Amino acid sequence: MNQLEQLKQYTTIVADTGDFQSIKAFTPQDATTNPSLILKAVQKDEYRPIMEKIAREHAGKSTAQIVDHLLVAFGTEILKIIPGRVSTETDARLSFDTAGSIAKGRELIRLYEAAGISRERVLIKIASTWEGIRAAEVLEKEGIHCNLTLLFSLPQAIACADAKVQLISPFVGRIYDWYKKSTGTDYTGADDPGVQSVKRIYTYYRKFGYQTEVMGASFRNTSQIIELAGCDLLTISPELLQKLAESDATLTRKLSPEAAKNSDLEKLTLDEKTFRSMLNDDAMATEKLAEGIRAFCVDAVKLDKLIEALR
């Protein structure tokens, strides 16, 4: 078996793209999208007609409403290809707005259900701010499952698990980027700080019996992916999926619930003050969370402008 096939024995594979053709090629279980991926997709000739069609059909609505319809249109098409779930992201400009994030999550689910899609097949992506986690806690109680994204630290992961969110997406590559820039070291394998962060989160969850799923995300190379074999899920770009499919090297399981039980990690209790203090003490997590939100906001504005140009 190639490495992708070997990995599928231990981990659920998720395609990190808005490109339907790439999703078909690698037969993943789930798929994730975000504003940047949708923006990239609608600028391609084969996907631009979807945006134009949505803009025509909902011409009398606000730009924000049209964008919601566009996101759901992409998600609906993706769900025709995959057997599992699609992640659809809320507007990053709502990252510090609990009520706004709740309203957006409800609206996206309403649109999916109007299209005949069960809410069980959709994950609402929300940034792992304190406000975002609180929004996800409310949505989960309503049966709207969430994927907490832009996650860079154990305190964020613990707060998400305590809120009983369905799934988290710790970002491996962006952690690696920060440490590489900070230290000048090109980390590989188990020494990669991004890999170590996800391993610590996975171990904490499994040791203390949390049900929240861990989905490693934002990979820079296949080495990072291989080191996380056994993680609940991994969301991987088409380029790296292709590299795994082209390699016949042996891949072994690195993470397991059994090994996690023997960890010496201690259980932490987080209230808002402790969460904010611990996050503030982590320069990498603080900087990457803020940077990620800003970048998604920029792409959200660009997507708005593409829609407005069609009106």
Catalytic residue numbers? 125
The Cα 236–Cα 258 span in angstroms is: 25
Inter-CA distances, 91 with 53, 122, 147, 203, 224, Å:
21, 16, 14, 31, 29
Structure tokens at 32: 């994730």
Smallest CA-to-CA distance from 88 within 140, 157, 35 is with: 35
Contact 146, 166 (CB under 8 A): yes
Cα–Cα dist 194/65, whole Å: 36
Cα first-last separation, the chain? 50
**Rounded to whole angstroms, how far apart are CA atoms 201 and 217?**
13
3-state secondary structure 40-86: HHHCCCCCHHHHHHHHHHCCCCCHHHHHHHHHHHHHHHHHCCCCCCE
Q: Give the list of residues 6+ apart from residue 192 with CB closer than 8 angstroms, or none.
A: 172, 176, 223, 224, 227
